[in-house]
Structure 1
Amino acid sequence: MADPPEKKMLKRIPDGDNIDRLSALPNCVLLRILSRFRTKDAAATSVLSTRWRDLFVSLPDVNLSFRVDSDASDRDRMFFDFIDFANRVVRQRNKASIGKIEVSVMHFVKSYRLAFESLLVSAAAALSSCNVQQLLISVRIDKTTERFSIPIPPGIFSSKTLVSLTLSFEVDWNVPDFVWLPNLKYLYLFEFRLVDEDSIQRLLQGCPLLEQLMLFVQSFSYESESEEGIEVEVLHISSPSLKSLVLCWNAKVELEFTVVVQSENLESLVCSLKGQHKVTIDAPNLKSLTVEGDVLEVHINQSLVSIDKAVVRAEFLHNVTNDSDLFLRVQHAFKFISGLQNVKSLTLSENILKALYFSQPALPTFRNLIKLELIPVYCYYFPRSCILQVLSNLFESSPKLEVLIFSEVFKNYFGEDEEFGSVFLQALPLTFIGHLKVIEMTNFRGEEHEFKLIEYFLKNGKSLKKMALEREAREDWKCVPEDCERILSFKKCSDDCQIVLKKKWDHITCPKFRQLLNLSP
């Protein structure tokens, strides 16, 4: 009988064999192994063999990171060593293809500017010679350093192969006059400071295939190193190819300005604003809309026929000055909500409900609304009875509503009455509850008024299929068996209704991630 393969191999290898079999592997296999390491660690393996001393410079992805202790005495020397190494990695490619270049620098100070510019030039050159598809550059300045500017090489904005570009700069930079990124689909700009009204539009015009744009703006008033002040009054974003847009202001801007979004193919829009702003939306095919923060007006030019989901956490009554101002604000709020009457899933905070209370016309009929989530924002100076009135009108205007979600229910949620249950019939009429199929409470605390509300729903929900109650992750349902028993003892109008008791983060199934969050297995 022939020997097994393992025994044959053992017979061929003499004792004390010190053959470098790793170096005998083909380059493609070695590169596959080295690709598991960061670029710096892959370079460190060069000491293992002269056969693959410079092989790391041919890795498909380049990951360059400078992170040291901010108090390190030799931090300056380490930074310039990092720049020398990074330039070598990028420049010695010999035109070998690069899938992704990622550069991350922490504790950046003004004295590093010239050296870092050389790395940016190297990266720009690699874009044209190495067919780079993804470029990510992140710069975080030292906490003791004031903002300053860095010129971005024009080559970074004129690449035929770049598909994704991410720039996260705490230093100032400006969009060049010429932009041509014909294959760019994903553009993410963080810590971005506008210096003129045309910079974003120059970018968009040079990206004819752009699908996703994330723009995190620092400030609209800019002072350059020459102390020249520039103010931006209008941010115009127009692109026929754009499908997803996220706008976020990281710093509060007191000056009023207008945001104009125009795109025939836009499907998802998120506006998270701080300050007093006006937003105009011309996107007839929009499917998902989120508006958060402080706004004066959100105007929808065309009817959103295809809208599926809307999240409204905007404060339309922010800094109201007088009765005339109040009148205009509430009219804008009502007109905005009316533009969402085709929505299927709607999330509303009480900020918008307060504005709707002051509007005279009745709410439009939300004929397609199936799912409604309510986010309370308790306000001592605004009567709960007013919120109750708006909620009643909203429920009455949603004839097809099936899913109702309360992010939280506090004691006087439906009014000032001490007896929580006394207003149920007014706030939640039986005709309305009869259509509901799913009811959720995402922040259940085990308070008496919550039990009463649950009992009311279960007793009268003839179409109810599920009652889902979610507690904080640290509050295990097993620790309060009496709560479980009480809920399960409630009489159910629908025999098909399932009561689901869960904890936050139960949707996370990855064991390692659950362990990291200190969740139960």
Structure 2
Amino acid sequence: MAGRTPFTNVDPATAAAARLQGADPHELDQTMEFMLRLIYTNLPDFPIYDCPRLPPPLALADDHSSAVDRLSTLPRELLRGIVSRLPVKDAARTAVLSSRWRPLWLSTPLLLHDAHLLPKGHRWPLTPANSPAITAAVSHILEAHPGPVHCVRLVCTNMSLYRPQLARWLQLLADKGVEDLVLVNRPWPRDLPLPAALFSIATLTRLYLGQWKLPDTAVLRGASFPHLRELGICCVFMKRGDVECLVARSPVLEILNILGCMEEMRLRIVSDSLRCVQISMSSIEHIQVVKAPLLERLVMYRSSPNAARGLYTKLRIADAPKLRVLGYLEPGQVLEIRDTVIMPGIRTSASTMLTSVKVLSFNVRFGVHSDVRKVPTFLRCFPNAERLHIMSKRCDQPSDNLALNFWEESGPIINVILRINTMSIREFRGDPGEVAFLEYFFRTARVVRTVVVAMANPKSTPFSTDEALSKVEKCSKNTACITLVLRNKGPAGGELWKFKDGADFSFHDPFSVAEVSRKQRSE
């Protein structure tokens, strides 16, 4: 073990238990750090940013010997705006600048991110040695600031070691009207129960929870979130029905995000307010959209129970009249629309179609016969889809590629012919099944304007990029649409899904390779 880095997440008891079982606790520690980083990546942005430079009339004079403190002469509301955009340490320190600055921090709604309280020189990943200083600082700030509390991020502390402090923090946050709260436990233990007091903070508009265990059902039934609009549940231990219980007690909830929950959930969606549901890297047996009149987006990313063993999420959509964005559908899964299970070759009718869907995404193994056979049938269920995005998945079994004649013999697909104006295929390797689909699409689609082919990374999936490119050029040579071929240096299977992309309603198409890249550059 010489030279190994100290644990940042695993406690000594867990490390000893892992060794007794023949496991390396350092690998367990690294796995937990990966999951925490995944949680951090999917947390909402913290509303702190660099202030723009002051315009010339407000800048200090060029002659520093005669410099005047012009900032302090600004209107009080503008000074409070400056303080509100500073990290909490800097915001509190403005009190020493002058008598005008002294009361500003205390009269400005509190923005607190405990990562800004790390001791000087300390960076991620965190170590247990950071916790005492951070915990003491959080306690001091929450006690000192009179409120109101706008936004709080508590993500750096192993909460199991500071349960009395956590209870006091939640009491203070409730008393001071916290609106936006992120609470992530630095494990171990991973299944630390959340205090019941959290579920009675009625002022919350956004709540994200990471690495916890939900309390008993009786506590959840007593929850009250009358103003909650966004809920994130990340790597949380919970029982069936817990999510539905929280949704039912959040009458204006618009966004529900679930990440890394592996208890083989069954999710039943009944909500008059939900607009976006995203489930990422979780184990979901069954999703039923029973009644969701405002639901616009449903995203399921890597959330089948065990796709390697042929176990996929069963999806039933009964009542979602405004559903516009849907993905990533797996042809291996059972899709049920209203009361009809969609099977290959089924005759579509008004009762088996969702006409509201405009943006559609599939995961397809083009080398698996049963996958490909379902694609034409699935496509017919969404006759008004205008954008189609396909993630081509690797086949870990003998290839069974279907040729061009399969697509031609499957019959006309209305949306391909008359609706789809944008199509993308990601993780493209130039396999025969992929090429057959591309050739069919280019021959058939009459209104398509843009096709994006994003190559797989040849370092993780060996193939000839030049050969794959020549196949794309051959398929598209007789078309007038714009065909973009993107080289890929990213991870196998594409970049991980980010909740903020899917929940950004100003972002027309969250599955678009080109638009996501453009959005990220603008940020």
User: What range describes the TM-score normalised by the shorter chain of this pair?
Assistant: 0.5 to 0.7
Aligned to 2:228: 184
Structure showing greater relative contact order (alpha-carbon pairs closer than 8 Å, 6 or more residues apart): 2
Instruction: Check whether the contact 2:279–2:300 (CA below 8 A) recurs between aligned residues.
Output: yes
Query: In 2, distance between residues paired with 1:79 and 1:363?
Result: 52
Query: In 1, distance between residues paired with 2:176 and 2:450?
Result: 55
Aligned to 1:117: 167
How many equivalent pairs are there?
409
What code does the residue aligned with 2:395 have?
A: C
Answering whether residue 87 of structure 2 is matched by residue 38 of structure 1, we say yes
Query: Which of 181, 204, 208 does residue 136 from structure 1 map onto?
Result: 181
Query: In 1, distance between residues paired with 2:445 and 2:413?
Result: 13
Root-mean-square deviation (CA, aligned residues, Å) is: 4.5
Instruction: Check whether the contact 2:359–2:388 (CA below 8 A) recurs between aligned residues.
Output: yes
What code does the residue aligned with 2:455 have?
A: N
Identity over the aligned pairs, expressed in percent? 18
Query: In 2, distance between residues paired with 1:151 and 1:356?
Result: 42
What code does the residue aligned with 1:271 have?
A: M
Q: From the superposition, tell whether residues 471 and 363 of structure 1 become closer, same or farther in structure 2 (CA, over 3 Å).
A: closer
Q: From the superposition, tell whether residues 198 and 51 of structure 1 become closer, same or farther in structure 2 (CA, over 3 Å).
A: same
Answering whether residue 447 of structure 2 is matched by residue 443 of structure 1, we say no
Matches within 5 A, 1:66-465: 66=115, 67=118, 69=122, 75-89=130-144, 92-93=145-146, 97-98=148-149, 100-127=150-177, 132=178, 134-142=179-187, 145-154=188-197, 156-159=199-202, 161-162=203-204, 164-174=205-215, 176-194=220-238, 196-216=239-259, 218-220=261-263, 234-250=266-282, 252=283, 257-262=285-290, 263-272=292-301, 273-275=303-305, 276=311, 277-285=313-321, 286-291=323-328, 296-301=333-338, 339-340=352-353, 342=355, 343-351=357-365, 354-356=369-371, 365=380, 367-379=383-395, 381-386=397-402, 388=404, 390-393=406-409, 396-398=412-414, 399-400=417-418, 403=421, 404-407=423-426, 409-414=428-433, 428=440, 432=444, 437-443=449-455, 447-448=466-467, 450-459=469-478, 461=479, 464=480
Q: From the superposition, tell whether residues 61 and 335 of structure 1 become closer, same or farther in structure 2 (CA, over 3 Å).
A: farther
Deviation readout 1:55-88 (Å, 9 max, x if unpaired): 3122124223144546768535413421332322
Query: In 2, distance between residues paired with 1:75 and 1:429?
Result: 56
The structural deviation recorded for 1:39 is 1.7
For structure 2, list consecutive stretches of 5 or more residues without a partner in the other structure. 1-56, 306-310, 457-463, 491-512
Query: In 1, distance between residues paired with 2:484 and 2:338?
Result: 39
What code does the residue aligned with 1:375 have?
A: M
Instruction: Check whether the contact 2:112–2:152 (CA below 8 A) recurs between aligned residues.
Output: yes
Normalised to the residue count of structure 2, the TM-score between the two structures is 0.63
The structural deviation recorded for 1:392 is 3.4
Normalised to the residue count of structure 1, the TM-score between the two structures is 0.64
The structural deviation recorded for 1:43 is 0.9
Q: From the superposition, tell whether residues 271 and 335 of structure 1 become closer, same or farther in structure 2 (CA, over 3 Å).
A: farther
Higher strand share: 1
